[in-house]
Amino acid sequence: MVATGALRADGRAWLRIFLCGLTLWLLTVVITSITKNSHLVPTLVLLGSFLVPVTFLAWAFERRGTGEITGSLVLNTFIAGAVMGVLAASAPEVYLLHPSVWLFLGAGLLEEGAKLAALAWLARHLHTKSVRDGLILGASVGFGFAAFESAGYAFTALFTQRGLSLMNLIQTEILRGLLAPVGHGLWTAVLGAVLFAPSTRKHFLLSGRLLLAYLGVALLHAVWDSMHTISVMLSLMLTGSSDQYDQVLRGYILHPSPTQVHLVAEFDWLGMALVAGVGVGWLVRECRAAQRRRPPSTGWRVPTARRHRPLADTYGT
């Protein structure tokens, strides 16, 4: 990673990263559109998917709490933590989750649990576990998860029944880029703050409060993922006919009217704004309450510190 001291001293590195990345992405879009060169598609997917997560990661890194949060650690949590989370969540989702009303809640529980486990594993040897560092490393894992997930969605959007659609890919990347700051990165940042707050150099404290935070974040995740289905249901309740209800669980309306199309879009954005507002408010509350809240007296202490041999054994005396 680029000199961590420069990042710390400047405070505007994140802006340069964003502007440079955005310029490169726009140039790639233009050249790909003109030349129809399919070899540029991976570049377009990666630039668009990682631009916003990396920008927010750089912004958070500049505000780290201790010197233990190095560039290499942040990069490790961003890449390794995200891949660990994606793999750990994907395998169970394939075998355990099936189309039903519980699908979104199950996905939220699995993905947030996988990210939390990856965060705890990669940060287990930190001597100082401050709330701010928990926020940063949690956001790092979450933004990495979002970047890899967005790359998958963008790549999938490229393929349509009429062939490759560059416009679908671009629209998907723009939408997911706009929503990235209030999604995975935000949710895992909340979990990181709650996990680090009562923990020490020697252990993580898995308390009832952490369990409640995990369930709450998973619920936000589930509502976010199911927002389009909720919007369809609300639109049908207001304007639907009987022959349209059997399609509601599939996430679309059979032969929608112009009014229904507008209602679904409005409910989509309103619902996502509400979920984002709850998440941001929760994060702010965690930051403000961290210094005043007393550590829980009960919980499961998971040892994390490395065990060192006595000096006598070390030197063979």
Tokens 């999938």 belong to: 156
Where on the phi/psi map is residue 68: left (φ > 0), alpha (ψ -120 to 50), or beta?
Answer: alpha
CB 45 within 8 A of CB 147: no
Q: Any residues with CB less than 8 A from the CB of 229 and at least 6 apart, and which?
A: 104, 248, 249, 251
CB 146 within 8 A of CB 186: no
Where on the phi/psi map is residue 212: left (φ > 0), alpha (ψ -120 to 50), or beta?
Answer: alpha
The reported pLDDT for the residue numbered 316 is: 40
Count of Cβ atoms closer than 10 Å to residue 191 Cβ: 27
CB 119 within 8 A of CB 133: no
**Weakly modelled stretches of the chain, pLDDT under 70:** 1-11, 93-101, 240-255, 290-299, 303, 305-317
Burial 89-123 (b: 16+ CB within 10 A, else e): beebeeeebeeeeebbbbbbbbbbbbbbbbbbebb
How much of the chain, in percent, has pLDDT values that exceed 70?
A: 81
DSSP notation for 183-200: THHHHHHHHHHHHHTT--
The H or E element that residue 240 is part of is none
DSSP one-letter code for 78: I
The reported pLDDT for the residue numbered 252 is: 58
The reported pLDDT for the residue numbered 212 is: 94
The reported pLDDT for the residue numbered 52 is: 94
The reported pLDDT for the residue numbered 67 is: 76
The reported pLDDT for the residue numbered 240 is: 61
DSSP notation for 27-59: HHHHHHHHH--GGGHHHHHHHHHHHHHHHHHHH
